Structure 1
Amino acid sequence: MENIYLLLIVCLFLWYFIYLRKVSEYALRHIKAYCDKDGLQFISLSRSSSRLTFNKALGPHWISVFDFEFSGDRESSYQGQATLKGFKLESIHVPMYKI
């Protein structure tokens, strides 16, 4: 019986890892589209947090926060933050930057 629980834990861990990779790919796609739309140079992306939340309208869902670096003038870099609910982009916050 313990083997079944161990197998379940390993499967959940693998699913979570694969899910986070998929969310990171969607975040990269959303952020690159945002940078292309505004004429910014995309530099890098990193996930700062992911958490499971519960909502009456959506039920249980994951909220992931990503930090990304960009440049507006190709010389300096700035850091923005993107929030995803599941695979959908919820918001992007960028500081004022030099064009």
Structure 2
Amino acid sequence: MITLWLFILIGAVIAFFWFGRQIAEAAQQHAVGQAEKLNVQLLSVACVKRRLAVLSNGRLGIKSQFAFEFSSDQQSAYTGTMHLENLRLKKMDIPPHRMG
């Protein structure tokens, strides 16, 4: 019986990691799209926070926060944040920046 619970736990950890990678790829795509819309250069995307939570639709899922850096004039960098629920972008905060 202990072996069964161990396999279930290992499977859950692997599934969480796998889905986390899908979320990171979705965040990268959202950041690239926003950079193209703003006509800025995307520098990096990094996960700040990821947790299991109840989503706005009432279901259990993963809430994530990502930071992305971009440059509008190739001299200064700005950091924005993205809030995702599973693969869906819920909110994006973009700081004031120079238009170059």
TM-score (norm 1): 0.93
The corresponding residue for 2:54 is 54
1:54-93 deviation per Cα after TM superposition (whole angstroms, max 9, x unaligned): 2573321211000110001121101110011111111110
Equivalents in 2 of 1:15, 1:22: separation in Å? 11
The corresponding residue for 1:76 is 76
Give SS of 1:83's match. Answer: strand
Matches within 5 A, 1:1-99: 1-55=1-55, 57-99=57-99
Equivalents in 2 of 1:75, 1:25: separation in Å? 27
1:5-38 deviation per Cα after TM superposition (whole angstroms, max 9, x unaligned): 1111111110010010000000000110010011
How many residue pairs align between the two structures? 99
Equivalents in 2 of 1:26, 1:79: separation in Å? 18
TM-score (norm 2): 0.92
CA RMSD of aligned residues (A): 1.3
Unaligned runs of 5+ in 2: none
Q: Which runs of 4+ in 1 moved over 2 A?
A: 55-58
**What is the identity percentage for the equivalent residue pairs of Structure 1 and Structure 2?**
25
Give SS of 1:96's match. Answer: coil
